Copies of this chain bind each other. A is one copy, B any other.
Amino acid sequence: MMADITPILERADANLPKSLDRLFDLVRIKSISTDPAFKADCRKAAEWLVAELNGLGFTASVRDTPGHPMVVAHHAGATADAPHVLFYGHYDVQPVDPLNLWDTDPFEPGLKELEPGRKVITGRGTADDKGQLLTFVEAARAYKDVHGSLPCRITILFEGEEESGSPSLKPFLEANAAELKADYALVCDTSMWDRDTPAISAGLRGLVGEEVVIKAADRDLHSGYFGGAAANPIRILTGILAGLHDEDSRVTLEGFYEGVEETPAQIKAGWETLGQTAEKFLGEIGLSIPSGEKNRSVLELTWARPTAEINGITGGYTGEGFKTVIAAEASAKVSFRLVGNQNPEKIREAFRAYVRSKVPADCTVEFHAHGGSPAIQLPYDSSLLNTAKLALSDEWPKPAVVIGMGGSIPIVGDFQKMLGMESLLVGFGLSDDRIHSPNEKYELQSYHKGIRSWIRILNALAA
């Protein structure tokens, strides 16, 4: 049954100041999941969400896992035949270092006017993903405020380990499949095409994360005494990493491109209408030259092509001044973005085999796996997607577009495989939100119209 939507949208508008206060409260909780020092904060964020949802009439609870807890909440629909949706978001956030590059305290959120009429919410997690998940909660609030009920039956799942590879997620889905299974999943952890154009993401790259540690001598050495004779683990590591790409920026691992298909011409043609260029895309971040495979657009490179990236490297003396040392070890964090049917475990093994082949016999190598998930390709033309497309197009200045996505949301694959659910990926982030970086922000417009968008989508899904 479709409710009259105008009073609900108006209610969302009226609620906005308080909706913002709630987001600020949540951002203040330092729920960094990758750092054990913030374990208690992660739980605190989960408890905060449970209290909010119970206050809204959900039956919500903190659900323990071996890692950070899940939040699960249930609410009936207005009618017995209302569709059942599972909404997913994550309350954990990325680390904040380097702290000195933040203009404001990452955990003391605030509003900042970037230009007349354009306000942003600043703080770690405002865009990824606390602001996004609250758009849905606040949409439900406005709905209930006006109608006392919700148009769909809603199950909510908030995770606290998304930024650290979601180690507890699969076991949790498996153990609670009956409780979590819905008609489809709504996932709010993605971006708009631009400030005026909402987007539904239909393709997501997978991810394989690997940490590699090369160990040489049993201690740090003086490069005068031993230089020229003793193995230098940084040299070995840089040699290995430099060999990951060929001169055309293709990844050299054996079998890496197995399962990678060319994007259909029709889809590429659709992307071309978006008017994206390397100059525009890279210009935003101070660059201009695509660094990936030759003769492919930046949209193709980031949506439909696999990558190998070095996300971190360290070894030897990195402080001020100089130290003529040959380090005992060096390490790097490397990730691969996957597309099509690339197999994460095969790629992990190919990487390890390649690295091992390059390590001298008197040195050793250690590997640490950090998450692995295949790419996801959602159908480009389902009724779920078309319904959401229309609802979003009603809210925003420009019609919604269906796009690919460079990032990984492994949950989408898990929902598909483990719960047999299709996912709808709608989010209101912008490419300049600086997620994972200092000075993360979320547009006030994203928050406000995001709430209104979910009202429209829930309403349309119930029809």
Contacts and interface: CB of A to CB of B under 8 A. Distances in A.
A41 interface: no
Contacts of A281: 229
A396 B83 CA distance: 92
Contact of A436 (B235, B323, B439): B323
B311 A324 contact: yes
Most buried by B among A286, A371, A406: A286
A320 interface: yes
A291 B360 CA distance: 9
A436 to B, nearest CB: 5
A326 B313 contact: no
A319 interface: yes
A337 to B, nearest CB: 5
A439 B328 CA distance: 14
B310 A218 contact: no
**Max chain B C-beta neighbours (<10 A), residue from A35, A97, A216, A437:** A437
A154 to B, nearest CB: 28
B223 A311 contact: yes
Q: Report the contact-size class of chain A (Cβ under 8 Å from the partner).
A: 35 or more
Contacts of A110: none
The listed residue with most B CB atoms (<10 A of its CB), out of A218, A244, A288, A325, is A325
A194 B317 CA distance: 28
A327 interface: yes
Interface in A305-349: 305-307, 309-327, 330-333, 335, 337
B305 A228 contact: yes
Contacts of A218: 285-286
A405 interface: yes
A229 B302 contact: yes
A298 interface: yes
Nearest to A241: B238
A279 to B, nearest CB: 10
A344 B354 CA distance: 37
Interface in A268-282: 278, 281-282
Interface pairs A-B: 8 shortest CB-CB: A224-B407, A34-B321, A242-B242, A218-B286, A312-B316, A322-B370, A228-B301, A314-B318
10 contacts: A35-B321, A97-B317, A191-B225, A211-B322, A221-B436, A226-B285, A231-B291, A234-B241, A241-B242, A322-B371
Interface of A: 34-36, 94-95, 97, 101, 163-165, 191, 205, 207, 209, 211, 216-232, 234-235, 237-239, 241-245, 278, 281-282, 285-293, 298, 301-302, 305-307, 309-327, 330-333, 335, 337, 360-363, 370-371, 405-408, 431, 434-439
